[in-house]
């Protein structure tokens, strides 16, 4: 058992796995699968499922298959397949096999014929309206379709001709013959195959009939000898059907277990809705840093570890719930605190001239890259006669206990000297344009023998070499805590002010910032270089998260 596993009690799925291992079910083997439908990019909910499936296999010495559930030819695309593989790897997981449900079309077709042969499936020519009418309601038993009593031979002939493309779309379906009075509506002769003349992204135009989800999913699990097939709660009522197909076909007994979907505040979590945001250009793409997609979070500067830690912390629930996004941000902050290089960036520059500093002198200051990580070392930054500080770090008429810069007051410049404000220069309109300060000799950080005590430390950049950067500040994409649960269209709750673009002056070390490099802009927050950034010509940073923890 891993170290992580020892710290907390088992979740209910781990209990099931351990019980199965004790009873030597499946000869002590654990094989899980992650089965995305390649019809969109993965989001944080999928990340939860990935961490669960791959995490279980890792913990119990098993493996995980990546299976693309590509049985619906209409919505799927290889762009999505590639992004999904990328995202799973980025999260830190490896699959033992890459499979496609479409690889099983031949076997699934054979399974359907087997059911027909055993008198357990029939071709129905009813329209969908007629079928719906006969289906009944949870309180009222359904009625048999007039086609339910077709002979095996007739069913076999019709199904083969459906597959050969002889009938138009929607004219006939193949249904399992189960129980039109079942209390489980899904057991009232569910459709298992439909006619579709669509080009499939892998099988082309070979097939004119496609299996329904319920007929493909469990059998795919069984074909792969999946031991624990974990899915979300909306499939609880499908379990009976899952077991029925496996039992009637007499194939490997995979078992389905359900857990609660992850929902998070201030976002939406369905691929269909996320696709709308992309198509209607509310965001710049699937990887927009405001999106709850894995690629969006990556571009935002989230780390794989922070997402894995979040998934571990929220655990596995049996009831639907809404998780506060600030919990995720908490783990992001925690991991970035460990790994991010501390740098200086000034957002509202106020010029400071050090009057007693020699005209052309520059002096090297050594600053720690990351005090949380002794191995990260130091870097050198130049101090000179003109610098910029944050306009907000100066107050002409400060309140008591103001420890930043004020007229006649002193403050330490991070990694450099203590300076004292001697004179405030203003434009005609009264705006402060410049501060004239003097530095205190012998007060350099690390070698300070000035004997002067100052309480405030502020950040700065050297005017001679500061670089300009575009900084993208993000707020929540939605104004409502749970936009999907609100009345009306979820898009009515989009926060129009979720992106603000500002300029900043940054220290020259950032001219080397490659996309995805992570930084703490000290006293401000965590930032990441955007893929649009072209150092050293064009610098673009995304704000990942602020320094302060708002999670209670």
CB of 31 to ligand ATP, least distance (A): 15
Nearest CB to ligand ATP, comparing residues 156 and 260: 260
Footprint of Mg ion on 10-39 (CB under 5 A): 37
Whether the CA torsion 158, 159, 164, 165 is positive or negative: it is positive
The secondary structure of residue 70, as a DSSP letter, is -
Q: Which residues touch 22 (CB under 8 Å, ≥6 apart)? A: none
Nearest CB to ligand ATP, comparing residues 232 and 362: 232
Q: Give residue number: closest CB to ligand ATP.
A: 45
Characterize the bridge pairing of strands 467-474 and 540-546.
Answer: parallel
Footprint of Mg ion on 32-91 (CB under 5 A): 37
Which of Mg ion, ligand ATP, none lies near 200, with the C-beta cut-off 5 to 8 A by kind? Answer: none
Nearest CB to ligand ATP, comparing residues 175 and 238: 238
Helix (H) or strand (E) holding 383: strand 378-383
Helix (H) or strand (E) holding 153: helix 152-163
Could you tell me the two tokens for 479? 């104004």
CB of 46 to ligand ATP, least distance (A): 5
Q: Is 271 a catalytic residue?
A: yes
CB of 27 to Mg ion, least distance (A): 31
Which of ligand ATP, Mg ion, none lies near 271, with the C-beta cut-off 5 to 8 A by kind? Answer: ligand ATP
Distance CA 136, CA 132 (A): 7
Q: Which residues touch 195 (CB under 8 Å, ≥6 apart)? A: 162, 167, 168, 169, 170, 171, 172, 173, 208, 209
CB of 21 to Mg ion, least distance (A): 29
| Distances from the Cα of 107 to the Cα of 97, 167, 214, angstroms | 18, 22, 15
| Distances from the Cα of 451 to the Cα of 247, 262, 454, angstroms | 84, 56, 10
Q: Is 261 a catalytic residue?
A: yes
CB of 53 to ligand ATP, least distance (A): 8
Which of Mg ion, ligand ATP, none lies near 35, with the C-beta cut-off 5 to 8 A by kind? Answer: ligand ATP
Nearest CB to ligand ATP, comparing residues 239 and 543: 239
Which of Mg ion, ligand ATP, none lies near 269, with the C-beta cut-off 5 to 8 A by kind? Answer: ligand ATP
Give residue for tokens 């064009």: 538
Nearest CB to Mg ion, comparing residues 37 and 422: 37
* Catalytic position from the list 150, 271, 404, 472: 271
Q: Please list the residues that pair with 123 across neighbouring strands.
A: 174
Which of ligand ATP, Mg ion, none lies near 45, with the C-beta cut-off 5 to 8 A by kind? Answer: ligand ATP
Residues shown for the chain: 552
CB of 213 to Mg ion, least distance (A): 7
CB 65 within 8 A of CB 95: yes
CB of 193 to ligand ATP, least distance (A): 20
Nearest CB to ligand ATP, comparing residues 48 and 543: 48
Name the nearest CA neighbour of 533 among 509, 552, 512: 512
Crossing angle of the two packed helices 12-22 and 44-59, in degrees rounded to 10: 30
Which of Mg ion, ligand ATP, none lies near 483, with the C-beta cut-off 5 to 8 A by kind? Answer: none
Could you tell me the two tokens for 526? 């965590």
| Distances from the Cα of 429 to the Cα of 348, 394, 397, 423, 433, angstroms | 18, 18, 18, 17, 10
φ, ψ dihedrals at 259, nearest 5°: -130, 170
* Catalytic position from the list 37, 107, 240, 434: 37
Which of Mg ion, ligand ATP, none lies near 393, with the C-beta cut-off 5 to 8 A by kind? Answer: none
The residues that touch ligand ATP, with contacts defined as CB under 6 A, are 35-37, 45-46, 48-49, 69, 231-232, 261-262, 269-271
CB 476 within 8 A of CB 329: no
Nearest CB to ligand ATP, comparing residues 46 and 58: 46
* Catalytic position from the list 261, 273, 491, 523: 261
Instruction: Give me the active site residues, please.
Output: 37, 261, 271
Residue ranges that bind Mg ion, judged by CB under 5 A: 37
């Amino acid at each position: 058992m891993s170290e992580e596993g020892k710290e907390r009690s088992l979740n209910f799925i781990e209990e099931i796995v351990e019980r199965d291992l004790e009873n030597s079910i499946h000869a002590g083997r654990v094989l899980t699968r992650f089965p995305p439908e390649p019809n969109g990019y993965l989001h944080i909910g999928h990340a939860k499922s990935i961490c669960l499936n791959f995490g279980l296999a890792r913990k119990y010495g098993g493996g995980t298959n990546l299976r693309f559930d590509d049985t619906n030819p209409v919505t799927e695309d290889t762009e999505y397949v590639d992004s999904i593989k990328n995202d799973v790897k980025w999260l830190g997981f490896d699959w033992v096999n890459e499979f496609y449900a479409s690889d099983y079309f031949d076997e699934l077709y054979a399974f359907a014929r087997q059911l027909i042969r055993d008198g357990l499936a029939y071709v129905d020519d009813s329209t969908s309206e007629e079928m719906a009418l006969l289906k009944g309601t949870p309180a009222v038993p359904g009625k048999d379709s007039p086609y339910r009593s077709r002979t095996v031979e007739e069913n076999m002939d019709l199904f083969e001709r459906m597959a050969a493309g002889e009938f138009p779309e929607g004219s006939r379906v193949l249904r399992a013959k189960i129980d039109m009075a079942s209390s489980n509506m899904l057991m009232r002769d569910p459709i298992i195959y439909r006619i579709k003349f669509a080009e499939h992204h892998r099988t082309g135009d070979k097939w004119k009939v496609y299996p329904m989800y319920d007929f493909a999913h469990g059998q795919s699990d069984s074909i792969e000898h999946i031991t624990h097939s974990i899915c979300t709660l909306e499939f609880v009522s499908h379990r009976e059907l899952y077991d029925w197909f496996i039992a009637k076909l007499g194939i490997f007994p995979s078992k389905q277990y359900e857990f609660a979907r992850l929902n998070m505040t201030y976002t939406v979590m369905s691929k269909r809705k996320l696709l709308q945001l992309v198509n209607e250009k509310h965001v710049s793409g699937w990887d927009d840093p405001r999106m709850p997609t894995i690629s969006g979070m990556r571009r935002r500067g989230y780390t794989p570890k922070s997402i894995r830690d979040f998934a571990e912390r929220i655990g596995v629930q049996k009831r639907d719930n809404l998780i506060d996004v600030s919990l995720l941000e908490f783990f992001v902050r925690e991991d970035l605190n460990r790994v991010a290089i501390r740098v200086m960036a000034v957002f509202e520059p106020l010029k400071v001239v050090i009057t007693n500093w020699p005209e052309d002198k520059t002096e090297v200051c050594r600053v720690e890259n990351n005090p949380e990580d002794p191995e990260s070392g130091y870097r050198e930054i130049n101090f000179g006669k003109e610098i910029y500080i944050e306009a907000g770090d100066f107050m002409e008429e400060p309140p008591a206990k103001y420890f930043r810069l004020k007229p006649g007051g002193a403050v330490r410049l991070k990694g450099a000297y203590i300076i004292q404000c001697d004179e405030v220069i203003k434009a005609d309109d009264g705006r402060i344009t410049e501060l004239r300060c003097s530095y205190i000799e012998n007060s350099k950080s690390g070698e300070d023998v000035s004997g002067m005590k100052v309480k405030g430390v502020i950040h700065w950049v050297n005017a001679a070499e500061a670089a300009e950067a575009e900084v993208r500040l993000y707020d929540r994409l939605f104004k409502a805590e749970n936009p999907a649960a609100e009345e009306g269209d979820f898009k009515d709750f989009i926060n129009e002010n979720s992106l603000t673009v500002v300029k900043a002056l940054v220290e020259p070390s950032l001219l080397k910032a490659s996309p995805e490099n992570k930084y703490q802009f000290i006293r401000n927050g965590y930032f990441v270089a955007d893929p649009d950034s072209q150092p050293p010509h064009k610098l673009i940073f995304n704000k990942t998260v602020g320094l302060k923890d708002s999670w209670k």
